[in-house]
Structures are given as C-alpha cells and as structure tokens.
Amino acid sequence: MKNLEELKAELETAQQAVYAIRTEIQSRADGFTYVVCILSYGSKHWQDYHINTFVLQELCHEYGDGYDGLVHIYSNNPKLAEELNAGCLTTFTLEELPENKRNVSRTEGLLNFIKP
C-alpha cells in the first residue's frame, strides 16, 4: 500500500500530464473560425477564436446554464451545434455576424473580453 506522500506525488504527475495534453489540444486548430460574444450582466464581450471546439466547450461549461451569462458563437463550422451543447449557448453562421464585428482582430477581441 502506498503512503500519503507517494499518492500526492502520483497525483501531481497525473495533473501535469493532463495539463500538457489539454494545452496540446487547445493549440490545435480545426480549420474553422469562431467569433464569440459573451453577454453577461448587461455587457457584451467579443473575441475571435481560431482554434477548435474543445476550447469553446470549456467556455460553455464555465457559463453552464446561462445564469452568469449567455454565449453566442458565430462560426463557419456546419457541425458546431452538434458538437457543443449547453444551456447558455446559441450558435449562428458567420453570415449572421453583425456587420461591425466581421473583421474583429484577435487583439481587439481580447481587449473587449477583458474590459469591465
């Protein structure tokens, strides 16, 4: 039987492995564009994502049932609604993206995301 210190060391090793795998998954683009609008407490935060649905799923888990905000995702991924499922989520095509947000840069999106 392992002692407490050995179990803690095993847990730390496992957590590091999970972190490395999660980082690798998050860095792999799937070829689709995702523009996200988070509606929370009367504000709108826009951000471009050029990655994959894994990161978006984590975002949807953060907002869960929509109590803390709603997530609108505009994308050219035709299977997006099938891949993501959350009470806070509404999906749209890129053609439905508001005209003034069609060329949102990553920097602008990030700044909009972190503004109070």
Please choose, from the candidates 40, 36, 38, 37, the residue with its C-alpha nearest in 3D space to the C-alpha of residue 67.
Answer: 40
Query: How distant is the alpha carbon of residue 63 from its chain centre?
Result: 10
Encode pLDDT of 57-73 as tens digits.
888 888 877 778 888 88
User: Percent of the chain scored above 90 by pLDDT?
Assistant: 17
pLDDT tens readout for residues 22-60: 989 888 888 888 888 888 887 888 887 767 888 888 888
State how far the Cα of 74 lies from the Cα of 76, in Å rounded to an integer: 7
pLDDT for 101 beyond 60:
yes
Q: Domain limits of the chain?
A: 1-28, 34-114
Q: What is the pTM of this model?
A: 0.69
Residue 13 has pLDDT above 70, yes or no: yes
